[in-house]
């Protein structure tokens, strides 16, 4: 998904013939808040430093291009860290929808 998302952002960037601008907005505090939310939801995470390095590497692959698109369309980027409650762990059955047989 990451690679496909990066490709879409790159394709849109080329489609609108936007200039390359070096804009990288990565906030360590928001990153740590997200980690805390995931931990609270029951996820087991790798150590913070290696996760931070990997996050910066992955985020930098698209963030500058995406922010340029955001400016072009005069919109605001969504907050990737906005949580009103911890995300449920995917294996937590309490949050799964019950299916009805037909």
For residues 61 and 13, is the Cβ–Cβ distance under 8 A?
no
- Confidence (pLDDT) at 21: 76
**Block mean pLDDT (10 aa), the chain, length 102:** 94 93 77 90 92 91 88 78 57 56 53
CB atoms within 10 A of CB 20: 9
Rounded to 5°, the CA angle 94-83-71 comes to: 140
Sequence ranges of the domains in the chain:
2-80
- Confidence (pLDDT) at 20: 82
- Confidence (pLDDT) at 26: 74
pTM for the model stands at: 0.66
């Amino acid at each position: 998904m990451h690679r496909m998302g990066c490709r879409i952002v790159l394709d849109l960037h080329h489609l609108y013939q936007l200039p390359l601008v070096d804009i990288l907005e990565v906030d360590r505090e928001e990153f740590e808040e997200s980690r805390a939310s995931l931990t609270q939801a029951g996820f087991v995470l790798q150590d913070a430093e290696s996760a931070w390095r990997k996050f910066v590497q992955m985020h930098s692959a698209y963030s500058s291009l995406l922010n340029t698109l955001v400016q072009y369309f005069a919109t605001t980027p969504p907050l990737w860290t906005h949580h009103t409650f911890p995300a449920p762990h995917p294996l937590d059955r309490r949050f799964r929808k019950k299916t009805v047989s037909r």
